[in-house]
Structure 1
Amino acid sequence: MYAPFVISGILEEPITEKVAFTNTNLLSDVLNAQLQLESYGEGVKGIAFIYIVTLPADDIHVESFRYRKKDQEIHIQMRLPFAAVESSSLEEVLHLMAQKYLDTMLEKLPSKNIPGFDWRHFTADVQNLFERKGWLMSLALG
């Protein structure tokens, strides 16, 4: 992995500019600048998070959360609802992305039991960082 935190997307053309490149780069730049994975132990060297924002009929791209012990990397693919992204502003999509990132970590990391990785400390720091940035504010999406 070229950086400890990598953010990307599998996207439909109409919403591409709302996820990539502004928001994916912003998320990865902030995570890489503010958090050091070594602070949470030796178990994880990289986290790649890919947002899937495709039409509801897409059954090719599936959600996944995998830890590769050999590489000490977490690879994640999670969906954001296409309609919500399509009807939201660039800033609202950033909030959706940040919330999905945090929710995914809180839901999936406890069951992975990754040796040498303090997921509780990591998720608390991610939540604190996103709150300081104002990215976890409630959104009224219509």
Structure 2
Amino acid sequence: MQTYEPKKWRTDLIIFLDTDNPAYKNPHFFLNDLNCKLENKRKSPQDKPMCSLISYKTLATRNLPKIKKEFDYHFLLDKANIYSDEQVQLKEFYSLLNTNLLDYKYLDSILMAFKGYSYFKLAGYDYLIRSVMEDMVSN
């Protein structure tokens, strides 16, 4: 954490990680030196800068169904109203996402922002800078 910043700034480090990973449970885990904890959550704009952890499982570690790779895009646009609030309408749309985006290497880094959105909003953050560090805690 930086030692000085303008009075109205708060620069926090927020790290999404799999808390089931054995590295996280290691007492010598490098994030312990930064006082990074799951319970570190901003409660007011006056809180000092902190390092917060948010539990997140990557898509690769989830048990997601494998779907065939062929997909008729015209069928999707004819059948699904992606602007509808009804979940039934979105089934085909989500099928398309599962089919084509699970192989997108950086999807996890985008989904993390959605996972943390309610906390970001509650904590009053103005900006989010996203960075990807692959396998930082693996073997």
With structure 2 as the length reference, what TM-score do the two structures score? 0.28
With structure 1 as the length reference, what TM-score do the two structures score? 0.28
More strand by share: 1
More helix by share: 1
Larger radius of gyration: 2
